[in-house]
Structures are given as C-alpha cells and as structure tokens.
Structure 1
C-alpha cells in the first residue's frame, strides 16, 4: 500500500467500526418507550463514515480484496442509518437492523490482516489482550476454521452457519454453542450475536436456521431432527467436548430450546433460553431423568414487552421445582432484545458446570 492508501485506511476503518458499535447500541437498548432517546444517542454517529468511505473509490485494483469488504460493510452500515431516518415505527427499526450482521459478515475476513478489525471481533473486555491477538495473528490458515455457511444462503431455511476459531486444534475438546435465532430471523444473521465471544473464549459456534418460518412451537416438529443432524455432523468433523454442548436461543429460539432441549434424547448438556416464553407444562411434561440436575441458564429483561418478566420468574420456579440446576438472571435495562454482554458469563458457566452427554 502507498502512503495515501494507508492514510485512507486510518480514516475509514475507525469510522466504520465506530458506526458498527453505534448500531450494536441500538440493537441492545431498543425499547419502544425509549426509542426517541436511543435514536438520539446514535444521531450523527454515521457522519465520519459517510465523509470518508468515498476515499476508497480511487484505490487500485490490486487492493480490491481489502477495498471490497470495507466498501460493502460501510454501505450496509449506512443503509441501516438511512432506514433509521425513514423509520416510522419499531418494526421499521428492526428491519434496519438486518444490515449490521451483513456488514459484519463482509468485514470479518479482514480480521486476519487488520488488527483493529481483529480487536473489534473480540469481547470488549479482551480487546487489550495482546497474547490473544497474537494467537490469532499467528494461527496458520485451515480449511476447517473461520466462518462457514452450509445450505444457509439468504432466504433459505433449514441450513446453518458456523464459526470455528482460527486457533482451533483437534487435540483439544472444544465447547459447542448452538444458538437459535428469534421468530422470523435466520442463523446467518444471528451468528454475529455470538461470534466475538466464541472467538474470544474458544468455543465452536453453530447458528441454524429454522426449517419453517420460525421454530416448531406448534404442529409437526421438523426442527429437532434437523438440529440433531447438524450437531452429529459437527461432532463428526471437529473435536467437541461431550460435557459442554450448549443450546441457547432468543425469543422463539429460547422457547424452542426448552421444547427440544428437554426431550429425553436431546444431545445438549446445557440450556440457556433468553427472552423466552414458557408454560409450566413444559417442566411438568419433561422426563424426570432428563431434567434432574440439568444446568439451565435463564435470562430475561425486566423491560420485556413481548414476554413480561413474570413469565421468566414462573419458569425459574417451575424448572427449579422439577429438579433442574437453574441459574437465573433478570436484567434491569433489557427489553426484548439480545444481551450480548451476557455471553461471556454464559460461557464461563458452561465451562464451570460440566455435565455428561445424555445417553
């Protein structure tokens, strides 16, 4: 790179990463009564990116592999801000938030060559860990690591996306996190709710997409056999710790983690439903041998407008009474959104509470 391109990069990259952080703030703190304040908090956070992104247009074709991801990620980030400005209701804001995962997917390949991007894709508390950064910088390329998509093109159903840390070695058994998206979502986007934490703490991450429009909460259950097939395939290719197979999910995904995770022959050793619905019969109908001592990390926001906090309190009481080992977290400032800051706690809990694989 010439000096001019280096100067451009020094301007564009920080502006892009700051814009993505602002979009993450919206996704985390989006609560209908607080919508004006949330939008005001990120007002203008796109200005530096808008002013600088055009600097990439004159880069030579020899830098296309660097320029292209930056341009795509920048365009997706700006599209989200543009749609915020045109949004008239909460649903429109949620539609705008489809862009940040696309921006992160475009940007992630540059983590291997740009240290600021690599740090962005780490848990914030670990971004100053020089040793961790060095391990990623020194990791040799492998065909079986990084971000992968299996039958999970945009708009498709029943496939999955996954992330295997570039530091993976097959001589170590790795925890597996299977993360289920919310209603009308997809695994390709939900992957980014967990990637930086799986990358920071050393876990293999799988984000499936439901077979139907959402998870099988009514009617024929096509999702449980599909999840089992996916998990079997992952366990056949990577070294997975048999005592640490976590099923987690948001909203409908959290509810389905109860439905399938409490099945007698479920492969999962741990469950972590977030912002999930619950009915006491779920616990009452669960196989006693399955639920006894089962580690469940239950988290819910006190501001949840879709499934009020009393739903989670009822779940805690019913699951505990049925014999599950429940860790319960109420989050005071959380609405019906995903609390990414909770992921490190869940991974620490997963490591601290090993449980033999079912069966």
Structure 2
C-alpha cells in the first residue's frame, strides 16, 4: 500500500472501530428509563468518524476493495448513531432505538472482509483473548478452505434461511462444537450472527444463525421451525466435522423461548440449551419429555432489569427445570435489561466444553 493510503487507514480505523464499540455498548446497556444516561456514557464517537470520512475520497483504484469495505461500514455506523441522536432529541421512541441499532450488524458485516488488517482482526476477537499470540497467529495465517462467513437464502427480508461462520483455522481432522443461535422476535439470523461471531472466532466453534420461517419463532400453532433447524443441522453436518456431543441451541428473547420449545422435545438432537432473556410457561415443563429433561445441561441467563419478561419468570423456570432433573446453571445479571449480553458467551462456551469432558 502507498504511504498515503496507509495514513488514511490509520486515521479512519480508530474512530470507526470506536463508533462500532460504542453502538455495541448502547445495544448491551439499553434500558428504556436509562436511555439518556447510556447515551451520555457512550459519548459522541460518530463526530470523529464523520470528520475523517472524506479521507477515503481519492484513493488509487487498486485499493478500491479496501475503500469499498470501509465506506460500506462507515455508512451504517453513522446511520445508527443518527437514529439514536434523533430519539435523544425527542424524535422517536423505543422502536426507533431498536431500528437504529439494526445498523450495527450491517456495519460489522461490511467490515469483516478487512480482517487482513490487524486492527480489524483484533476488533473481531473476544476482548479477553486479544493478547493471545497463538490465536493471533492462527487468524493471521491464510484461511483454510470452507471457512469464513456463509449465507444460505438469508438475504434481508427473507425467512427460513441461515447465516453461519466457520473459523478460518478450521480443519476437518477433528470435531468442532456447534452453536445454533436463534434471533429475537422480528429479527433475523444474518444480524444475530454478530452477537456470537467474536466468540466463535476466538474460541473455536462453528456458528449457525437461522432465521425463523415466520415473523418470529413458532411459539404457537404448527411448529414449522424445528424441521427447518433439523434440515439446517443436517446440511451443516454433511460439509463440516461437528462434535455430536457439543450441539448447543441458544437464543435471545423469542429465540430463547423457542430453544425451550424445540430443545425440550424428546426428539431434539441438541445436547445443550442456553436460553437468554426468554420466557417459560410452567406447562412447558409438564409437557416436556421427562427422560429428555433428566440430566439435560441447561444454562439460563436473564437480566434483573428485564422489562419484557420479568426476572421472576426466569427464577421460577430455574426451580421448575431443576425439580424436573435438568442439570441447570442460572446467571442473573444485575445491570441487564432485555438485551443480549455478549459477555456471557465466554462462560457458555466454557460450560459447553466442560460438560463434554465430564
């Protein structure tokens, strides 16, 4: 690269990455009564990003792929903050906040092809492993075949497809744990993939993020989603080497609830369940397959501030499933509202691996 292009990258990347981290902070800490306080803590990183954006204007054509990726990441990052600022200034409501935060995964998806750049690669490593030199070396090497991000009939607005990630250092000579992560209501797998990608990339797991066949998961009426999840699982298993003893079904909100609905069925192929911010009706425990429940590893995560599914529901669920014989871990996070806590992924992955060794 020319010295001028390198200088531009050095100028653009820090405010871009900081803006994405800041959007992630808002997404994690969002609680309707605390919105203004969270925004104050997040600061105004988009101003620095906006200021350096013109530096991408006149690059040589041979660096067009880098420029295109940076511009494609900057645009949704700034749009996300513009939406948040509008709400902060009285124009919009909670729905507008969630709509603004949907720009975050779009920016991450656009930026990921630039992981050849060390700062970008570091951004997509779990924070606690960013100093791991062995991991850095594996990620800096040439990607192996059949690795990276894939989308199967999962364009925005589509239903029933899936997105997935296979670590670039994947090799078929050993088995790999699989995480199937289900999005929340009205969401999609393509966006929810990014709730788990850092940890899958850093800790060595194949990640699958399906999209519900309907507007949300089949919590009532005919279950069209479980057959689709099984189809996706079969498709993945034929192409990559999966550890059949480490098949995790997890999800957020409606996705977490559906991990109960589908995962407690006696025919479920998933070995571990990890619902987050989910609801659970006592009848679900009564209707669940008793043999399936006995000894089933379940990791429940819930926020004490959850305004959609009050924490008392999760506490009751803990008691019901433990009484039914499930091997249960319960994590209640004091400062968590109805959002996804990415920091829990590391503990869930450790639990998944430890359970397999027992």
TM-score > 0.5, shorter chain as reference: yes
User: 2:34 maps to which residue?
Assistant: 34
CA distance, structure 2, for counterparts of residue 284 and residue 325 of structure 1:
17
In structure 1, the residue corresponding to 2:151 is in which secondary structure? Answer: strand
5+ residue gaps, structure 2, are none
Q: Does the alignment pair 1:98 with 2:97? A: no
Length, aligned pairs only: 354
Per-residue deviation, residues 203-232 of structure 1 (Å, max 9, x unmatched): 000000000000000111100100000011
CA distance, structure 1, for counterparts of residue 325 and residue 42 of structure 2:
45
Per-residue deviation, residues 122-173 of structure 1 (Å, max 9, x unmatched): 100111112211111114442x110000000110000000000000000110
Q: Does the alignment pair 1:114 with 2:117? A: yes
Per-residue deviation, residues 40-85 of structure 1 (Å, max 9, x unmatched): 1223111111111110111111101111010110111000011111
Q: Does the alignment pair 1:55 with 2:59? A: no
Pairs within 5 Å for 1:101-250: 101-111=105-115, 113-142=116-145, 144-250=146-252
CA distance, structure 2, for counterparts of residue 326 and residue 213 of structure 1:
30
CA distance, structure 1, for counterparts of residue 14 and residue 130 of structure 2:
15
CA-based RMSD: 1.0
In structure 2, the residue corresponding to 1:354 is in which secondary structure? Answer: helix
In structure 2, the residue corresponding to 1:219 is in which secondary structure? Answer: coil
* Preserved CA contact (<8 Å) 2:144 2:171: no
User: 2:68 maps to which residue?
Assistant: 68
Q: Does the alignment pair 1:11 with 2:7? A: no
CA distance, structure 2, for counterparts of residue 178 and residue 34 of structure 1:
31
In structure 2, the residue corresponding to 1:230 is in which secondary structure? Answer: helix
User: 2:311 maps to which residue?
Assistant: 309
**Where does structure 1 differ by over 2 angstroms across 4 or more consecutive aligned residues?**
none
CA distance, structure 1, for counterparts of residue 238 and residue 292 of structure 2:
24
* Preserved CA contact (<8 Å) 1:243 1:355: no
User: 2:288 maps to which residue?
Assistant: 286
Greater shift, 157-166 or 122-131, is seen at 122-131
* Preserved CA contact (<8 Å) 1:244 1:350: yes
CA distance, structure 1, for counterparts of residue 142 and residue 356 of structure 2:
28
User: 1:298 maps to which residue?
Assistant: 300
In structure 2, the residue corresponding to 1:215 is in which secondary structure? Answer: coil
CA distance, structure 1, for counterparts of residue 100 and residue 306 of structure 2:
20
Per-residue deviation, residues 17-43 of structure 1 (Å, max 9, x unmatched): 010000000000000110110111223
Per-residue deviation, residues 97-140 of structure 1 (Å, max 9, x unmatched): 010100000000111x1011001001001111122111111144
In structure 1, the residue corresponding to 2:319 is in which secondary structure? Answer: helix
CA distance, structure 1, for counterparts of residue 123 and residue 255 of structure 2:
26
Q: 1:224 to 1:53 in 2, by over 3 A?
A: same
**Structure 1 residue 179: deviation in Å?**
0.1
**With structure 2 as the length reference, what TM-score do the two structures score?**
0.97
* Preserved CA contact (<8 Å) 1:184 1:214: yes
Per-residue deviation, residues 162-192 of structure 1 (Å, max 9, x unmatched): 0000000001100000000000000000000
In structure 2, the residue corresponding to 1:249 is in which secondary structure? Answer: strand
CA distance, structure 2, for counterparts of residue 302 and residue 109 of structure 1:
37
CA distance, structure 1, for counterparts of residue 248 and residue 219 of structure 2:
20
